């Protein structure tokens, strides 16, 4: 075991976190508030760890910020749509079924190359929805150019990319809420 592993990990993560333009985080927060104020919802989608993150953020937006927010992590929805339309099409079909004009879609893919997520971005664009993407790995990944605001992590490490995405998203929630920490009181 390397005794400095955690110091190195933290340095890499902090560098990744600080690679974002904070103005983009503010723009996303403002757009979420505007979307919610108009009675529309936020749709948050990802695969694997990013799906868990999507659930967390959707719940925080709903509870703490009072925005209607949903994700597509129901096993019956995901397996039905994947079975009927193919795995690479399930996100676009879910967006087609659940999105309304004026909704905001947040699409998360560590690699930025997940076909189901990029096809979801194409569908969201066709429907005229505002799109926020979060990706990492290669700077020219397909998802990175598909949103209205595109956040990218300069790393090829899944845990670094996912943690940066997660921290940015919870920071946006706290920014909208107006506090760094909040309680249910």
> What domains does the chain contain, in order, with CATH numbers?
21-177 (3.40.50.10490)
Spatial separation of the C-alpha atoms in residues 93 and 5, rounded to whole Å: 43
Q: For the residues of 125-183, what is the DSSP string, one character each? A: HHTT-EEEEEE-SSTT-GGGGSSSEEEE-S-S-HHHHHHHHHHHHHHHHHHHHTSSS--
Exposed / middle / buried, residue 115 (Cβ in 10 Å: 0-12, 13-18, 19+): middle
Confidence class of residue 134 from pLDDT cuts 50, 70 and 90?
Answer: very high
Distance CA 177, CA 180 (A): 8
pLDDT in tens, 144-182: 999 999 999 999 999 999 999 999 999 999 999 887 766
What is the spatial distance between Cα 35 and Cα 67, in angstroms, rounded to a whole number?
9
Question: What is this structure's pTM?
Answer: 0.95
pLDDT at 183: 61
Task: Specify the DSSP class assigned to residue 104.
Answer: E
Q: Does the pLDDT at position 98 exceed 60?
A: yes
C-alpha triplet 12, 17, 19: angle, nearest 5°: 95
Q: Is the pLDDT of residue 15 over 90?
A: yes
Contacts of 7 (CB under 8 A, 6+ apart): none
pLDDT at 172: 97
């Amino acid at each position: 075991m390397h005794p400095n592993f955690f110091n190195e990990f933290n340095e890499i993560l902090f560098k990744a976190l600080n690679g974002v333009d904070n103005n983009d985080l503010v723009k996303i927060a403002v757009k979420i508030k505007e979307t919610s104020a108009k009675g529309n919802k936020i749709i948050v989608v990802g695969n694997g760890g990013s799906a868990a993150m999507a659930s967390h953020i959707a719940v925080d937006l709903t509870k703490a910020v009072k925005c209607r927010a949903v994700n597509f992590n129901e096993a019956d929805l995901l397996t039905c749509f994947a079975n009927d339309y193919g795995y690479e099409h399930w996100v676009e079909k879910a967006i087609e079924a659940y999105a309304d004009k004026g909704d905001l879609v947040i699409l998360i893919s560590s690699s930025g190359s997940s076909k189901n997520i990029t096809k979801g971005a194409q569908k969201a664009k066709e429907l005229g929805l505002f799109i926020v993407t979060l990706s990492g790995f290669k700077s020219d990944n397909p998802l990175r150019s598909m949103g209205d605001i595109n956040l990218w992590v300069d790393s090829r490490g899944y845990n670094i990319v996912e943690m940066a995405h997660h921290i940015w998203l919870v920071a946006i929630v706290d920014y909208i809420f107006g506090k760094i920490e909040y309680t249910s009181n």
